[in-house]
């Protein structure tokens, strides 16, 4: 079946509706107008005849009808028959056959002859000092319909013009309103069909619903493009991060396999391979967690955990690493701070922050770990006096694979802090950092009251 465009459907609908309403109005006007006309004509004939009868006088030997009325008043012909002398005077319509309607006092009669219907009203009056006179009033009923028929004719002429103007005007307004929809469709098609994610509808500023829709689409396209770019960047970064250990593993294997190698050389090669494989494995598991988190199916198993104990454990793990750089680790943990959370993830968060403090800490410097309950919730700090972070990098360090200075990140891949952020937020908390280059950094996290 052929689909009728919306603009035609809308135009057709209200045009027909308007026609129907006008037709109902017309019928209503005709019906009510007709009965109103009928009753006014009847009343007019009666009142003119009654007035003529009342005003009739006998003066100076002759009958004197009312001057103002004459023999034709308000479309009513007046005709008098003097019963004393048998004479008649007055006026009757030409086509009216007077003898066809017998005289009936105070009674309204009708006579139809040809196209015309006559309304006849008689009154028998006794003129003081003279005798009886018959007064007859005749009016053409159809003539009274003239005004009504003019109205109907006007209706019939103007309705089509009005409907035409409404239909054409409405059509253009609807078509104009729907024009942007074409643009939206074309843009959406070209985005979904081609590879150009940078295309936008760009309808500009407008206040109607279509403009709002177009602007919403543009915002959605912006986000899609950004998501797509992030995805591309993520894949490129991930491949890049995996390429280095893979290259090392391949070259170590080639080295070990070519020629005769003694046991020491072989175990050195294997150790190097193991180190790179561990690095890859850690990277892969981080990538997996992050991509599951993105898809929303990284299931966290929440239980009541003792955050103080977890932090304690992490700090103990840190001593060996810190000792390599002569860094003193000091810890101040308020005991038994409980939180509902995923133990493995929380350890990972605390570990990443603490390891970074050592990794980017100053040789012979110090790292301070604190955890306490404050009014806002459980607050922890990981403070170092190391290289610090330049202000320009600060907002970006939470992004995946972002490294402020890759040459100084000995064993990093730039995923640690994005994991930290995700874990904190997945527990209803947040992380933040204050840092000054050359002086050190203070990473803090907070789990607000209520998330505990």
Which residues share a beta bridge with 68? none
Beta carbon nearer to ligand ADP, 53 or 420: 420
Instruction: Report, in Å, the least distance between residue 174 CB and ligand ADP.
Output: 55
What is the C-alpha to C-alpha distance for residues 187 and 224, in angstroms, rounded to an integer? 14
CB of 404 to ligand ADP, least distance (A): 3
Sign of CA dihedral 245, 247, 248, 249: positive
Minimum CB separation of residue 384 from ligand ADP in Å reads: 5
Smallest gap from Cβ 402 to ligand ADP, in A, equals: 6
Please tell me the distance from the alpha carbon of residue 322 to that of residue 329, in angstroms, as a whole number.
7
Phi-psi category of 447—alpha, beta or left, where left has phi over 0 and alpha has psi -120 to 50? beta
Report the Cα 427 to chain-centroid distance in Å: 33
Q: Which is nearer to ligand ADP, 49 or 415 (CB)?
A: 415
C-alpha–C-alpha distance, residues 204 and 168, integer Å: 27
> Hey, CA dihedral for 4, 5, 7, 8, is it positive or negative?
negative
For residues 349 and 293, what is the distance between their CA atoms, to the nearest angstrom?
Answer: 15
At 71 the three-state DSSP class reads coil
Residue 187 or 413 with smaller CB distance to ligand ADP: 413
Q: To the nearest whole angstrom, how small is the minimum distance from the Cβ of residue 349 to ligand ADP?
A: 11
- Distance CA(123)–CA(90), nearest Å, equals 14
Shortest distance (Å) from residue 282 CB to ligand ADP: 10
CA-CA-CA-CA torsion for 287, 293, 299, 305, nearest 10 degrees? Answer: 90
Q: How far is the CB of 387 from ligand ADP (least distance, A)?
A: 5
42's enclosing H/E stretch is helix 6-55
Minimum CB separation from ligand ADP for residue 344, in Å? Answer: 18
Binding site for ligand ADP (CB under 6 A): 352, 356-357, 360, 384, 386-389, 397, 402-405, 409, 412-417, 441
Beta carbon of residue 388, minimum distance to ligand ADP (angstroms, whole number): 6
CB nearer to ligand ADP: pick between 131 and 438:
438
Considering beta carbons, is residue 140 or 355 the nearer one to ligand ADP? 355
Smaller CB separation from ligand ADP, 90 or 440: 440
In the complex, the smallest distance separating the C-beta of residue 313 from ligand ADP, rounded to whole angstroms, is 20
Give the shortest CB-279-to-ligand ADP separation in angstroms. Answer: 11
How far apart are the two ends of the chain, measured CA to CA in Å? 62
315 or 413, CB closer to ligand ADP?
413
Choice between 175 and 283, CB closer to ligand ADP: 283
Q: Which residues on adjacent β-strands are paired with residue 58?
A: 63
In terms of Cα–Cα distance, which of 436, 434, 439 is closest to 386?
A: 439
Number of helices (H) and strands (E) in the chain: give both, helices first. Answer: 8, 15
Closer by beta carbon to ligand ADP, 59 or else 405:
405
Side-chain-facing half-sphere of 221: CA atoms under 13 Å: 21
Total residues belonging to the chain: 452
Question: 419-433: string of b/e by CB count within 10 Å (b at 16+)?
Answer: bbbbbbebbbbebeb
Q: Is 63 or 420 the residue whose CB approaches ligand ADP more closely?
A: 420
Residue 65 CA: distances (Å) to CA of 81, 82, 247, 295: 12, 12, 132, 106
User: Closest distance between ligand ADP and the C-beta of residue 281, in Å?
Assistant: 15
- Burial code of 268-285, b = ≥16 C-beta within 10 A, e = fewer? ebeebbeebeebbeebee
The residue (of 144 and 403) whose beta carbon lies closer to ligand ADP is: 403
Closest residue to ligand ADP in the complex (CB): 412
Pick 133 or 318: Cβ nearer ligand ADP? 318
């Amino acid at each position: 079946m052929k689909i009728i465009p919306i603009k035609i459907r809308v135009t057709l609908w209200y045009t027909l509706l308007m026609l129907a309403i006008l037709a109902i109005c017309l019928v209503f006007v005709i019906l009510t107008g007709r009965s109103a006309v009928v009753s006014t004509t009847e009343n007019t004939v009666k009142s003119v005849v009654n007035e003529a009868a009342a005003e009739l006088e006998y003066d100076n030997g002759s009958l004197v009808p009312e001057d103002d009325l004459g023999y034709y008043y308000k479309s009513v012909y007046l005709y008098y028959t003097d019963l004393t002398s048998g004479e008649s005077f007055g006026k009757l319509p030409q086509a009216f056959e007077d003898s066809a309607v017998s005289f009936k006092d105070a009674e309204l009669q009708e006579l139809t002859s040809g196209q015309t219907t006559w309304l006849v009203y008689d009154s028998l009056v006794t003129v003081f000092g003279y005798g009886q006179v018959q007064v007859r009033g005749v009016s053409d009923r159809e003539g009274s319909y003239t005004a009504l028929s003019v109205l109907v004719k006007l209706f019939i002429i103007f309705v089509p013009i009005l409907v035409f103007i409404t239909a054409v005007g409405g059509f253009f307004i609807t078509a104009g309103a729907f024009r942007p929809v074409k643009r939206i469709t074309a843009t959406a098609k070209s985005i979904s069909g081609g590879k150009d994610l940078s295309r936008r509808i760009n309808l500009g500023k407008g206040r109607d619903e279509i403009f709002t829709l177009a602007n919403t689409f543009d915002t959605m396209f912006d986000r899609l493009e950004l998501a797509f770019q992030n995805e591309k960047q993520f894949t490129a970064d991930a491949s890049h991060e995996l390429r280095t250990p893979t290259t090392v593993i391949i070259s170590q294997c080639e080295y070990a396999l070519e020629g005769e190698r003694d046991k020491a050389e072989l175990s050195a090669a294997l150790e190097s391979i193991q180190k790179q494989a561990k690095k890859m494995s850690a990277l892969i598991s981080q990538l997996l967690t992050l991509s599951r988190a993105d898809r929303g199916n990284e299931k966290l198993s929440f239980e009541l955990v003792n955050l103080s104990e977890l932090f304690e454990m992490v700090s103990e793990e840190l001593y060996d690493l810190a000792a390599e750089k002569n860094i003193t680790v000091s810890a101040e943990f308020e005991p038994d701070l409980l939180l509902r959370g995923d133990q493995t993830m929380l350890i990972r968060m605390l570990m990443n922050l603490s390891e970074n403090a050592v990794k980017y800490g100053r040789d012979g410097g110090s790292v301070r770990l604190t955890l306490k309950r404050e009014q806002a919730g459980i607050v922890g700090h990981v403070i170092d006096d190391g290289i610090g972070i330049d202000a320009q990098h600060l907002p970006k360090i939470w992004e995946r694979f972002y490294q402020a200075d890759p040459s100084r990140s000995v064993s990093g891949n730039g995923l640690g802090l994005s994991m930290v952020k995700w874990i904190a937020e997945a527990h209803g908390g947040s992380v933040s950092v204050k840092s000054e280059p050359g002086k050190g950094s203070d990473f803090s996290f907070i789990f607000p009251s209520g998330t505990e």
